[in-house]
């Protein structure tokens, strides 16, 4: 088994690179937004048309990239060593706000029967979702994490690529939390989502917000070289694009989804609706570090 020391002392060097246009609107009009990486070797570009930020040139999305991004790191994931009681205690502590969040988007789900969490990791969200849905599933690229969730929650977890899931599977809610920005072409996933959703079903997407004040300030400091890059040498540029509100609105328009709910949130408060200032910051001004969408296929 790999150790964290081995991971941290190892440098990721891409085997192949590729130059791409905007993954949302396919525009080639862009400008450099920031450079990042332990040696500033990666470049984020701002699409001048739809305002999405994306990595180009980038490592080719192949088995080598996937292993370095997910499976190798999973070898040292401490949660995988928890027993049944320890895991339940961890899941209860690690899921603040999930019940309120599920209750909020549950009202948009017309069927309310089947749920799948794409990129379920060690299953904390599934731990809560199983109290609301008759059938609950997960999908996880790491075989180690998938097996862990199967054993701890007795839930079926697929290890297929999302785009390869059988079209015979149908879900009334598909949940993606901080995963779609890790894939090269979001159009492929949203096309697949339309095939897998039941009529009236919903897609819940949560992504980082590249244009939050906090993120903008960090980029500003890096441009002035007043902030050092904090990218560990072993890390891949795991976000192949960095989501923005205008970029995702354009993505949903192009792929045939209507937005039912859009707001920002913080990692320690998924619900982001507890008081006046919180509602103003996250629900009205939408300035938080993360964005949440509930969308449905346009009919």
Domains located in the chain, CATH noted: 1-76+210-243 (no CATH), 96-207+245-299 (3.40.50.150)
Q: Is 264 helix (H, G, I), strand (E, B) or coil?
A: strand
The Cα 98–Cα 115 span in angstroms is 14
pLDDT in tens, 249-284: 999 999 999 999 999 998 777 777 778 999 999 999
pLDDT in tens, 276-288: 999 999 999 999 9
Write down the pTM of the prediction: 0.92
Per DSSP, 282 falls in state: I
CA dihedral defined by 68, 31, 242, 196, rounded to 10 degrees?
-100
Taking only the tens of pLDDT, the chain with its 299 residues reads 444 444 555 788 899 999 999 999 999 999 999 998 888 899 999 999 999 999 999 999 988 888 888 766 565 567 888 888 888 888 888 766 788 899 999 999 999 999 999 999 999 999 999 999 999 999 998 888 999 999 999 999 999 999 999 999 999 999 999 999 999 999 999 999 999 999 999 999 999 999 999 999 988 988 887 776 677 787 888 899 999 999 999 999 999 999 999 999 987 777 777 789 999 999 999 999 999 999 999 98
Judge whether 53 and 93 are in contact, CB under 8 Å: no
CA dihedral defined by 34, 35, 36, 42, rounded to 10 degrees?
120
* HEC secondary structure over 145-194: HHHHHHHHHCCEEECCCHHHCCCCCCEEEEEEECCHHHCCCHHHHHHHHH
CB-CB neighbours of 138 under 10 Å: 27
């Amino acid at each position: 088994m790999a150790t964290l020391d081995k991971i941290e002392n190892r440098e990721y060097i891409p085997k192949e690179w590729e130059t791409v246009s905007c993954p949302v609107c396919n525009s080639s009009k862009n400008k450099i937004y920031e450079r990042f990486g332990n040696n500033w070797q990666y470049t984020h570009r701002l699409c001048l048309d739809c305002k999405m930020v994306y990595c180009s040139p980038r490592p080719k999305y192949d088995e080598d990239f996937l292993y370095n991004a997910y499976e190798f790191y999973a070898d040292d994931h401490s949660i995988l060593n928890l027993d049944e009681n320890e895991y339940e205690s961890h899941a209860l502590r690690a899921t603040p706000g999930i019940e309120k969040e599920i209750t909020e988007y549950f009202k948009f789900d017309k069927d309310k029967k089947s749920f799948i969490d794409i990129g379920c990791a060690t299953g904390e969200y599934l731990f809560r979702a199983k109290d609301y849905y008759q059938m609950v599933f997960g999908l996880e690229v790491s075989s180690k994490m998938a097996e862990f969730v199967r054993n701890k929650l007795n839930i079926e977890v697929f290890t297929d690529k999302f785009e390869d899931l059988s079209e015979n599977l149908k879900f009334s809610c598909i949940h993606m939390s901080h995963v779609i920005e890790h894939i090269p072409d979001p159009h492929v996933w949203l096309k697949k989502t339309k095939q897998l959703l039941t009529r009236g079903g919903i897609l819940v997407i949560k992504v980082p917000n590249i244009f939050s004040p906090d993120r903008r300030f960090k980029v500003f400091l890096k441009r002035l070289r007043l902030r050092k890059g904090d990218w560990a040498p072993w890390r891949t540029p795991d976000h192949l694009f960095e989501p923005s509100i205008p970029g995702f609105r354009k993505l949903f328009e192009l792929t045939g989804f209507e937005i039912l709910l859009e707001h920002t949130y913080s990692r320690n408060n998924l619900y982001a609706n507890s008081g006046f200032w919180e509602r103003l910051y996250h629900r009205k001004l939408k300035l938080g570090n993360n964005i949440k969408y509930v969308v449905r296929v346009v009919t």
